[in-house]
Structure 1
Amino acid sequence: MPARERGYDSRWDKARATFLSRRPHCEFVVDGKACGKPATIVDHVVPHRGDQELFWDSGNWMPLCAHCHSSRKQSLEHRGSAAARARAMPFGIRPSRIPVIIVCGPPGAGKAAYVEIHSNPRDLVIDFDVIRDRLASQAGRNPVTSLTAKALDERNRLLRSLADDHLHDRCFFIVSAADPEDRETWRRKLGGRIVLLATPLEECIRRIQSDPRRYGKENQLIDLARAWWERQPAPAQPLRQEA
């Protein structure tokens, strides 16, 4: 289908020009650094596949230079599902305008409890599990087959909104982030600080097994907790803050 028939018309040309005037440099990140060359392309981070709402969602746009768009980004896409990768660790995240506390740890670590204790009503809490549960409740008897993908898209929309957030005092972002490099990537993307809840595996398992909300998912969550600990480079303290 020709580009004009897919939505890339004069309206898009105007929106593209406005977007690039505000964000004129390529933001594709390689080895922890943004490219920085003059951007000429507005890329859809999550492919819209004809979805007009996603097509026109500027939070899903990312400025790229021609080189990064044609070679680097496409080479990544050839290794697997670009949409899945973009959802898990999204492109186009700008540093937050408000302070961000990134709360990491395995299932059963107590991340939600930590946030409940330390947050206040003017703080924004971004928690994938809460978002997914809300979407599941809204779906009712018509369950959404791609619920996880939709929840990640909503989480990422909220993360992108932090760059222009004038409504909240702080943001608490809850994410497992088993890989230390992933934690550092989140910190670098958002400009926040990390709170690592390295709750011992035995205690995580005890909490998972005693929590009625996790009924039917105990084995999966315990496996995830074990996998989280297997990826740690060395024994961690029960609570550590990373600068």
Structure 2
Amino acid sequence: MLYVVTGPPAAGKTSWVNEHAQPRDIVIDYDTIAQALAGPGAPTHDHRHTLHLIARSARRAALDEALRHVDRADVYLIHTQPSERSLARYRKHGARIVTLDPGRDVVLERCRTMRTREAARAAERWYADIESPTRETLHPAAAKASRAW
């Protein structure tokens, strides 16, 4: 089964995956990939351009391969704001879309205290997109605090 976990930055996507994925499941998380590729002590959410390009390529390769195996392994993909094209691709593989949203105020406060300004801008873009009349409504998960921030 393919689980696509969406939501704004700091919504608790990684925490949700950590609560649901089993040890032998496949987890594809851009931030985890970038952190693995970065040097010791690198920031967890502030990736420089070169690291971003390499991590994005690694994520794409991991996803392409994982989609070949969703019939044999559970795959958890964290994708903050998938395009309609990406959603269509995921649905072709029988994806369950899980959207986490603890609310704009909570997310922006988490971004302010624990993330970068770019994360707050990305959160604002996420909220603007879901409020768009042309955006398809995803299947939201119950909004709750994901962890003690």
User: What is the TM-score when the length of structure 2 is the normalising length?
Assistant: 0.74
Aligned length: 133
1:231 Cα deviation after fit: 0.7
Higher relative contact order (CA 8 A, sep 6+): 2
Matched residue, 1:191: 94
Q: Gapped runs of 5+ residues in structure 1?
A: 1-98
1:187 Cα deviation after fit: 2.2
Matched AA of 2:5: V
2:64 and 2:50 map into 1 onto residues whose CA distance is: 21
Q: Secondary structure at the match of 1:103?
A: strand
After superposition, the Cα gap between the structure-2 partners of 1:136 and 1:185, relative to the gap in structure 1 and judged at 3 Å, is same
Q: Deviations over 1:115-137 (max 9, x none)?
A: 01111101110001111111112
* 1:1-243 superposed matches below 5 A: 99-137=1-39, 146-165=50-69, 169-177=73-81, 179=83, 181-182=84-85, 184-211=87-114, 214=115, 217=116, 219-233=117-131, 239-240=140-141
* Structure 1 residue runs of 4 or more that deviate by more than 4 Å after TM superposition: 234-238
User: What is the TM-score when the length of structure 1 is the normalising length?
Assistant: 0.47
Q: Gapped runs of 5+ residues in structure 2?
A: 143-149
Matched AA of 2:140: L
Structure showing greater radius of gyration is: 1
Q: Deviations over 1:146-189 (max 9, x none)?
A: 221211111111111124439x631100011165x255224235
Percent identity among equivalent residues? Answer: 28
Matched AA of 1:201: R
